[in-house]
A and B are shown apart, each in its own frame.
Chain A
Amino acid sequence: MIAPSSQPPLSLAHLPGRLGRVSGAGPRRVTHHPFLLPAVSQASLLRLHHRFRALDRNKKGYLSRMDLQQIGALAVNPLGDRIIESFFPDGSQQVDFPGFVRVLAHFRPVEDEDTETQDPKKPEPLNSRRNKLHYAFQLYDLDRDGKISRHEMLQVLRLMVGVQVTEEQLENIADRTVQEADEDGDGAVSFVEFTKSLEKMDVEQKMSIRILK
């Protein structure tokens, strides 16, 4: 059911209960992928799996852009395209279930216990503040050069603002936005500057979805 990809496939068998007996269209492949487990809870993992299967109309085992475009609500979301694109890093055309979860794991609410028992040696969980911000940053930074140029800011603005705003006004806004955040004067906003401009904002709460608890 889940096609093998370059990443290790998903394991469900070692999860207790219903998760291990997830029924699907075909035989389950069971190999280990422990990375997924801390990213989301088990219950959420099961639900995400259902969702993945529901989106995957032709039961290919992976999702294509088209499958994600079938979600009606994304079509009227100004950032719909970019959100879909964020599921396909590095120009790939398919996303398998681990990849799907990896993106959604960014939106898991941050539990207080996580920050306390943070083991410095372990990699930072996907739903840390830094990773959330990095995800948002990547929505702006399309060419992945690590900076939001003025042009990229302008593009995002265009997406998010109604048509009655003139181009000149948009450019002013883009200018001002970059200017405010830019500290080293290179005319673009780096990730550090981006983080700094949002330090007062409750990013963890804004970028968390309850159902992914």
Chain B
Amino acid sequence: MATPVKVHGPPMSTAVSRVLACLLEKNVDFQLISVNMAKGEHKKPEFLKIQPFGQVPAFEDGGVSLFESRAICRYICEKYADKGNKGLYGTNPLAKASIEQWLEAEGQSFSPPSSVLVFQLAFAPRMKIKQDQVVIKQNEEKLSRVLDIYDKRLGETRFLAGDEFTLADLSHLPNTQYLVGVSGRGELFTSRKNVGRWWNEISSRDSWKKVVDMQKKSA
């Protein structure tokens, strides 16, 4: 029987891998459907029907069609609340409020500079695009300031939203994996004691190891 949950996009996409990590944490079966981005499949009318901005991932679960990785993750956590990691999106309103706060911090403060760095350091070379050193330096400075705040926070709590691993931490995995693993800018994270400890913990989770494996296999 075909599973109703479908994720459209390549595992090496940071946004796609965010959704994959969430599905694996929640033990939800899914089908990964490839999108040939090199051939511009994501800009074609067929794909634009399920993602009007022409980006990956697109997501389907039976009759529900969604996009935007963080919205997809929230949906997965709500719909499959009783499966897998039950505390991923909080089990009470106060826990949820804290998770939402740090999920927004990821989206608004961490993601902008780290996404630029991931593109410049990990993807541009592969795509034979020239790196912009000024842009790299500016965004390293921005990210450093954000990570200073994270280091203080992670000295007070084990994970960002509290003492349990949540969606807020998970959301950071994709970009950080590239920066620590591939780009040689790992010391931004590892030189900060609490951030380094946090990164080791969250990246060692089975669900994330599976995602990294999927990325390697599809490369």
Say if A and B assemble together.
no
